[in-house]
Amino acid sequence: MNNSAKKLRLPSRGAALCNEAIEGFADRAAKVAMIAEASQKLEELFDVLRIDHVNDHNTRDTPRRVAKMLVEEVLRGRYDGGAENHRIRKRRTL
């Protein structure tokens, strides 16, 4: 293993990790900051994988788009308070 690899930077003490409860929810500014930081990490990943995200028009903005998708769509409930309660209607089977 390469010793020059950067160690994972953990959030400051008291910040919620993984499945810990979050006090309050992220405002727009916090989400923009998360997207920017995640985008930088995805750029690093693309560099490791030798994917040209700077010059190739197909992948130029992909790190930002993926980061935005994660924060605003995939993990939305974690930052926006979760999905509303929906009642599921049972379908009668005949």
Per-residue pLDDT reduced to its tens digit, 16-47: 556 665 566 778 888 899 999 999 999 999 99
* Alpha carbon distance 52, 25 (integer Å): 35
Give which of 74, 80, 64, 66 is closest to 30, Cα–Cα: 80
46 in any annotated domain: yes
3-state secondary structure of 12: coil
49 in any annotated domain: yes
Q: Which two tokens stand for residue 8?
A: 């994972």
40 in any annotated domain: yes
75 in any annotated domain: yes
**Where does residue 24 fall: left (phi above 0), alpha (psi -120 to 50 degrees), or beta otherwise?**
left
Per-residue pLDDT reduced to its tens digit, 32-85: 999 999 999 999 999 999 999 999 999 999 999 999 999 988 887 777 765 554
Domain that holds residue 41: 28-79
Q: Which two tokens stand for residue 35?
A: 């997207």
The total number of structural domains in the chain stands at 1
Backbone angles phi, psi at 67, to 5 degrees: -60, -45
**Where does residue 4 fall: left (phi above 0), alpha (psi -120 to 50 degrees), or beta otherwise?**
alpha
70 in any annotated domain: yes
